[in-house]
C-alpha cells in the first residue's frame, strides 16, 4: 500500500509514482548510498516500475517517497507487516549524500513511527543495520529503536564480515517517550 501524504518540517512523505523509478535506480546505483544496504545490484527500469506498482496493492507493506524541496530523495516503508501480530519492519534510504547529517532521517523515522503506532495500530516496529553503518544506528537510536541482538558476521563489506544488528521499538515505549518530550 502507499502511505498518505505527510508533511514534516524538512520533508514531505508522499505516495510513490512511476516517475520515481529512474531516480530510485540512479540513487541506489551510487556505491556510497548502497554500501550498507542488503541489495547492491541495480534494478532495471522495468523491475523498478513493477516494484512501485506491486507496492500499491501489497497489503503487507506500506511505503512513501521522501521529498526534500520538491525533489524525490529516497524512500521509507514498512515491509513484512504481520497484521495478526502487529509487527512490521521499517527501512529507509536517503539517496543524496549531500543531504546526510541534517536530521532528515530522524524526522522521517519519527513521522512514520507515529503513523505506525497511531494510524496503523501496530504494536512493534523492527529494523536493523550493518555494524559499520554508524549513521543508521544513530538515526534508529534517535527514535528509540534499541538493539535486541545481532547476527554475527552476516554480510561481507569492504573486505570483511560484519554483524547485522537487530533493533526494535515497542508502541508502549514510544508512547512513554512522547509523553516525556
CB of 108 to ligand COA, least distance (A): 8
Considering the complex, state which of residue 72 and residue 94 has its C-beta at the smaller distance from ligand COA.
Answer: 94
Q: Considering the rule CB under 6 A, would residue 101 count as an interface residue with ligand COA?
A: yes
Q: Where are the alpha helices (DSSP H) in the chain?
A: 21-28, 31-34, 45-57, 104-118, 134-142, 171-180
Considering the complex, state which of residue 32 and residue 46 has its C-beta at the smaller distance from ligand COA.
Answer: 32
Which of 1, 100, 154, 173 binds ligand COA (CB under 6 A)? It is 100
Query: 113-152: which residues touch ligand COA (CB under 6 A)?
Result: 129, 133-136, 138-139, 142
Burial call 53-64: b when 16+ CB within 10 Å, e when fewer: eebeeeeebbbb
Q: Considering the rule CB under 6 A, would residue 36 count as an interface residue with ligand COA?
A: yes
Place of cell 523492527: 126
Considering the complex, state which of residue 81 and residue 109 has its C-beta at the smaller distance from ligand COA.
Answer: 109
Q: Considering the rule CB under 6 A, would residue 106 count as an interface residue with ligand COA?
A: yes
CB of 84 to ligand COA, least distance (A): 26
Contact 124, 149 (CB under 8 A): no
Considering the complex, state which of residue 71 and residue 121 has its C-beta at the smaller distance from ligand COA.
Answer: 71
Contact 95, 73 (CB under 8 A): yes
State how far the Cα of 57 lies from the Cα of 79, in Å rounded to an integer: 13
**176: helix, coil or strand?**
helix
Site residues for ligand COA per CB under 6 A: 33, 36-37, 92-94, 100-106, 129, 133-136, 138-139, 142
Amino acid at each position: 500500500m502507499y502511505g498518505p501524504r505527510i508533511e514534516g518540517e524538512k520533508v514531505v512523505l508522499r505516495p510513490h509514482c512511476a516517475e520515481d523509478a529512474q531516480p530510485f535506480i540512479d540513487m541506489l546505483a551510487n556505491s556510497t548510498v548502497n554500501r550498507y544496504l542488503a541489495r547492491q545490484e541495480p534494478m532495471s527500469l522495468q523491475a523498478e516500475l513493477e516494484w512501485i506498482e506491486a507496492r500499491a496493492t501489497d497489503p503487507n507493506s506500506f511505503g512513501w517517497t521522501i521529498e526534500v524541496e520538491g525533489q524525490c530523495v529516497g524512500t521509507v516503508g514498512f515491509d513484512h507487516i504481520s497484521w495478526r501480530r502487529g509487527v512490521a519492519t521499517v527501512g529507509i534510504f536517503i539517496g543524496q549524500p549531500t543531504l546526510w547529517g541534517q536530521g532528515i532521517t530522524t524526522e522521517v523515522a519519527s513521522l512514520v513511527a507515529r503513523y505506525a503506532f497511531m494510524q496503523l495500530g501496530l504494536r512493534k516496529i523492527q529494523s536493523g543495520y550493518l555494524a559499520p553503518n554508524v549513521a543508521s544506528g544513530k538515526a534508529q537510536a534517535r527514535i528509540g529503536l534499541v538493539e535486541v541482538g545481532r547476527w554475527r558476521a552476516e554480510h561481507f563489506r569492504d573486505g570483511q564480515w560484519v554483524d547485522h544488528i537487530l533493533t526494535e521499538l515497542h508502541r508502549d515505549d514510544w508512547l512513554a517517550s512522547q509523553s516525556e518530550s
